[in-house]
Amino acid sequence: MAAQSSSISQPPLPLAGRVAIVTGSSRGIGRAIAIHLAELGARIVVNYTSKSADAERVAAEINDLPAREEITGKGPRAIVVQANVSEPSQVKSLFDAAESAFESPVHIMVNSAGILDAKYPTVAETSVEDFDRTFSVNTKGSFLCSKEAANRLKKGGGGRIILVTSSLTRSLRPGYAAYAASKAAVETMAKILAKELKGTGITANCVAPGPIATEMFYDGKSTEVVERIAAESPFGRVGEVKDVVPLVGFLAGDGGEWVNGQIIPVNGGYV
């Protein structure tokens, strides 16, 4: 009997040849999304606002991924671009940088950038300044990224707009009014955007995580509060970034084409 070859053919990478911008990808959920999309073959713009060292580490991890024939010879797997998503000119620079570095239109835009007031104030305690800042980053940032994407994503199929929102838009818990409202506005916008993009082949969806074990989630919470939140989940734990990224990867690929204008909670039944 002839000896079998030791080499095993690998399945094709579903996002090979596609370019993705992931905002807020220097840490947390955004970081995990950027790495996951890169593992699926996408070339990535790693975006950050202030922590350049964190963003450079994410890009280095992506650029060190094992080489695959589908994505070799096309420059770096990832680049780093600083941009504040609440500034129109800086959002434009994200797309300019992607098109220049990868010599390709952008196919996928994931907006994961967001802020949450660690004090968890009631409406009565929320300052106007904190309210404006929350909406500037979470809502205006999503609007500007969506606006640029609607005008510049590759048309004709494969274009994906994915906005990270929150399951708090459903659970409506005290202390999160400004944050939940800022995300609810994004969800409404995404549903309308999906209809406005008729004929382009571009989809627009929201992924709405529940409590996820990131720096932003733990900030300002005592151990007792974290344990109480975990106990409310049917799984008895707080979610992890690995629970979120497969859904984003699915929506970004060809299999997600028929999912459009949807708000998809990913929370283990927390809400």
Q: What is the pLDDT of residues 63-77, one digit of tens each?
A: 999 988 787 656 789
Options 176, 179, 218, 270, the catalytic residue: 179
Q: Is 179 a catalytic site residue?
A: yes
Q: What does the pLDDT look like over 93-138, one tens digit per residue?
A: 999 999 999 999 999 999 999 999 999 999 999 999 999 999 999 9
Report the phi/psi class of residue 181: left, alpha or beta, with left for phi > 0 and alpha for psi in -120 to 50.
alpha
Q: How far, CA to CA in Å, does 15 sit from each of 36, 73, 159, 169?
A: 11, 16, 11, 30
Q: What does the pLDDT look like over 160-208, one tens digit per residue?
A: 999 999 999 999 999 999 999 999 999 999 999 999 999 999 999 999 9
Could you tell me which CATH number the domain at 19-266 has? 3.40.50.720
In whole angstroms, what is the distance from residue 94 CA to residue 42 CA?
16
Task: Check if the beta carbon of residue 260 is closer than 8 Å to that of residue 194.
Answer: yes
